[in-house]
Chains A and B, each alone.
Chain A
Amino acid sequence: MAYEEPITDYDHIVENCTCAFCGCNCDDLEFLVKDNHIVGVRHACRLGASKVMEDMDQRLMVPMIRGEDGELEEVDWDTALNKAAELIAGAVRPVFYGWSETSIETMKEGIALGEEVGAVLDNQATICHGPSLQAVQNAGYPVLTLGEAKNRADMIVYTGSNAMNSHPRHMARYSTFPRGYFRQRGRFDRTVVTMDPKYSDTAKMSDIWVGFEQNGDYEFYNAIRAVLKGKELKQDVISGIPKEDVYELVEAMKNTQFGVVFFGLGLTHTLSKQRNIDIAINMVQDLNKFTKWVLMPMRGHFNVNGFNIFMSYEMGFPFGVDFARGYPRYMMGETNTIDLLTRKECDVFMVIAADPGAHFPSGANKHLAEIPVIQIDIHWGPSTEIADVVLPGSFVGVEVGGTSYRMDGVPIFMKKAIDKPETCRDDEWIVRELKERVAKIKQAQVASK
C-alpha cells in the first residue's frame, strides 16, 4: 500500500470516542474534525475508520416516499412520517426489524411503538447469533469480560470466526497481543488456536489451525468431549482430523490456566445450528473439570448485544418478541423475521438501522417486494431499493450520543462528536414521532366506532 501523508489539516480532535462498527466497541478512538466533518480517525481498524469517515455521496439526507411510477420522491418530514404512521397503524402483522446499529434509547421508544400496534420486534441476532442465544438458554453461559481475556487467558480458541476480517482489533486489543496482568509478554504467553474449515486470515495468525471438514463441527466437538471424558476414539479420522491430533489438542487444552473460546457465525450458519453451540458450551463445561475455560460469541454489530440484553430485561426474551396478543411472546421459528417473511405473514415491514437487502436470503426478501417497507437508516443501501418510505436517521456514536453494549455485555456510552446534517433527525426522535402519530390514528379509530 502506498505511503499516505499523515493528516495535519484539521480543526480539533475529539478524544475517547467509541467505534460504531463491530461488537468490540473500541473506545479509544480519536476523531479529527474539520468543518463539522470527520477527516481522519486514529486507532480504529480499517472497518471502524471506513464507517466513521463515511462516503457522503450516498448519505440519506431527505425523507422520501415511493411514487406511483416506482421512483423515490423527496417529501417533507411531516408527509413522510404521516405516511409511515398510517402504514404501521393499518397493519395486521407489522414487523420492526433491525435496531442493532442504534442506541438503547431508541429501542426504548421502539418497544413502546411495538406494544401499541402489536408488532414483532426482532434484531439482527435472528440471522446471526440467534442460535447461540438459544443454546445459551439450553446449556448455560460460561461468561467472561474481555478484560479477563486480556489479563488472564493463555489459550485463545477462535472457532467458526474470522476475527481478523470481522473484528480486526479483537486480537490486538483483547485476546492475543496485549500484555495483561498475568500475561506480561503478551503474544508469547498465549497459544492461539483457530478451528475453522477455512484457512482464514485468523488461521494464518494462529499457532494451531484445526481445519475440520465443512459441517463437521458437531462431530469434532463431540470427539473432544469424548476424549475429555476419558474415552477412546474408535475412528482414525474424525471430521477430517487424525485422532492423534485430537488427543494432542485436548491435552493442550487441559494444560492451560485460563482458556477462552470465541465462536462466530461459522457455527450458527451451518446445518446443525444451535446444536453446534450446545455442544461447544458442553465442551467448555467438560474442560472446566480440569481447568478454567470460558466462552463468548463474537457479536457483529456494535449494539446487537444491547438489543438482546435490553429486550431480556424489559420483556423477558432476547429477540423475536411478538406483541400481537398484547403481551410479549417468543417462539423460535415462529416469531422470527425470516420465518415470518418466508411464510408471507408480515404485511408491513419497518427496518431501522439494518440492511435486509444485503443480508436476508432472497427467499425472504421476495416477500418484502410485495409489502410496504419503511426504512430508517443513514445510507442509501440495498434496502433502499426495495423501500417505500425512507426516513433519514443519524449516526449514533458520531452525530448523536447513546448507550450500547459490547459483546461481553459491558454497557458503554458513545458520545457525540459532530453535529448531524440539518435535514436528518435522531433515530430516537423519529421512532417517538411515529409512536405519537400512530397513537393518534388509533384513538381516532376508536372514537369513530
Chain B
Amino acid sequence: MTYVDKPAVPRVVKFDEPTATKRDKLDVMLNTGSDIYQGACKKRGSTLKDEYRKVSGVAYMDPKDMAKLGVNNWDSVLVTSDWGEVVVSAVHSRDAPHEGTIFIPKGPWANVVVSADTYCCCDPTYKGIMCTVERSDKEVLLMADLMRSVYKKYVDDDDDEGIEKLESLGEMPVYKKL
C-alpha cells in the first residue's frame, strides 16, 4: 500500500491566456472553509490579535498565480466579488498547484466576499464563488477594525473616509471598566 503521488498536471480551471504574461487582475474561483490554524486561533479566543489576521485574513494562492500578479508572500491583495471587496494577504498555498482558485479560511475576511444566497435552502454559498484578485497597497485590517469598517454599527455610516482615518481598535478588548 503506497501513497499515490500527486499528479503532475492537476485538474484545475484553465485560462485561455498563456501563463507567462503578467497581469493586473486575475479572475479566480474562491473557496472558503475551515483550516487548522484558523480553527485553533479562533477557539483559543485570540481573534483580536495579529495571529488571527495572519491565519484568517489570507488568501492561499497558487504560486504561479502569484507570479502572474507580481505579488510575494504576505503582500496585500484586493479580492472583489459581487458581494463585496476585502483586502487580505496573499500566501503560497500548501496544496498547490491549483491555478485559478484561491482559498480564504472561514472568518470575517472571507465573509465579506461570500454570497449570502441560500436559494431557499438555509445554507449560504461559501464555495465556488467567482471573484477577481488584484494587487493592493492597503494594509490588511485587524479583526476589530475590519468589523467596524464593514458593518459600521457604531460609526457614522456615510463617512467611509472618516472610518479609515479612525484610530485602530488594537489587539485587546476595548471597553469601559466599572
Residues of A within 8 A of B (CB): 21, 46-47, 50-51, 53-55, 57-59, 62, 64, 66-67, 70-76, 126-128, 130-131, 134, 162, 164-166, 168, 187-188, 191, 197-201, 204-209, 211-215, 240-241, 265-266, 268-271, 273-274, 300, 320, 332-334, 336-339, 342, 355, 357-366, 368-369, 378-382, 384-386
| B residues whose Cβ falls under 8 Å from a Cβ of A | 1-4, 6-7, 10-11, 13, 29, 31-36, 39-49, 83-84, 94-95, 98, 101, 103, 106-108, 111-116, 118-128, 143-144, 147-148, 150-155, 172-178
Contact in complex: A362, B112 (CB < 8 Å): yes
The reply to whether A336 and B116 form a contact with Cβ atoms under 8 Å apart is no
Among A50, A70, A363, A379, point to the contact of B83 (Cβ < 8 A). A363
Listed residue (B43, B48, B120) with the most chain A CB atoms within 10 angstroms of its CB: B43
B84 touches A214 (CB 8 A): no
Q: Contacts A47-B36, A357-B147, A363-B83: A62 and B48 contacting too (C-beta < 8 A)?
A: no
Known interface pairs A266-B33, A361-B111; A209-B176 also in contact (CB < 8 Å): no
How far, in whole Å, are A197 and B116 apart by their CA atoms in the complex?
Answer: 22
Q: Contacts A70-B155, A265-B127 known; list 4 others, CB within 8 Å.
A: A162-B33, A165-B39, A365-B111, A384-B173
**What residue in chain B is nearest A190 (Cβ atoms)?**
B1
Residues of A within 8 A of B83 (CB): 361-363
Let me know if A358 and B176 touch, CB within 8 A.
no
Please pick, from A214, A361, A369, the residue contacting B151 in the complex, using a CB distance under 8 A: A369
Q: Known: A198-B103, A214-B101. Is A274-B121 also a contact (CB below 8 A)?
A: yes
Which of A64, A207, A334 contacts B4, CB < 8 Å?
A207
In the complex formed, the residue of A with least CB distance to B171 is A57
Given contacts A358-B107, A363-B116, contact A51 B147 (CB under 8 A): no
Complex: A381 Cα to B47 Cα, angstroms: 6
Cβ-defined partner of B48 (8 Å) among A164, A208, A380: A380
C-alpha spacing A189/B173, complex, angstroms: 51
| Listed A/B pairs (28) with beta-carbon separation below 8 Å | A47-B36, A47-B39, A59-B45, A66-B154, A127-B122, A131-B122, A164-B36, A165-B34, A166-B36, A187-B1, A211-B10, A213-B13, A266-B127, A269-B126, A336-B122, A339-B122, A342-B116, A355-B42, A361-B116, A361-B126, A363-B124, A366-B151, A369-B152, A379-B45, A381-B42, A385-B143, A385-B147, A386-B147
